Structure 1
Amino acid sequence: MTAPQWEWRLEVADGTRHGGAPGPVFTSQYDAEQWLGEHWRELAADGIAAAVLLNDGTRAAPPVDIPAV
């Protein structure tokens, strides 16, 4: 059995996927959410407007808005 994979799909203001490098993959939802909490300012500076949490490729929660800095 493999551990679940949690990751963020990063989106720009028009709702399309950000064209940059993919973000890290996590083995727990807690770790994924903690990472977003620690890095949202950097993401906003890179033009990210929202992040969608995926669990094994399936949307696990509503998008999280990333406020502009």
Structure 2
Amino acid sequence: MNLPDQPSTFRPPTPAERPWWWRLEDAQGGEVAVDEEHTGQRFPSQGDAESWVGETWRELAGQGVDAVVLFELERRVYGPMSLHA
């Protein structure tokens, strides 16, 4: 029996629907693992991604993130951008 695809409200968004994401890096440029609340965040627009990092940068820095790099799908947009003054 084949069931229809789940409606979009019941399935996670695809990368194409939320193409913007941040790579969270340590001082050497390695990827940093953070708590589940901050892991794998994806956004529908560059503005949403930038707002999120603007609201959470202190928490990210407190978890060992030194810099962030913004991507649209696999294209590096900019960064690394330091989270330190």
Letter in 2 for 1:64: M
Q: Deviations over 1:12-53 (max 9, x none)?
A: 111101133533100100000000000000000000000000
Aligned residues: 67
Residue segments in structure 2 that go unaligned for 5+ positions in a row: 1-15
Higher RCO (Cα < 8 Å, 6 or more apart): 1
> Which secondary structure does the structure 1 equivalent of 2:54 belong to?
helix
Query: d(CA) in 1 for partners of 2:79 and 2:62?
Result: 22
Runs of 4+ in 1 over 4 A off after TM superposition: none
> When the two structures are superposed, what TM-score results if normalisation uses the length of structure 1?
0.85
Letter in 2 for 1:11: E
Larger radius of gyration: 2
Letter in 2 for 1:47: G
Query: d(CA) in 1 for partners of 2:52 and 2:25?
Result: 16
Instruction: Name the residue aligned to 1:42.
Output: 59
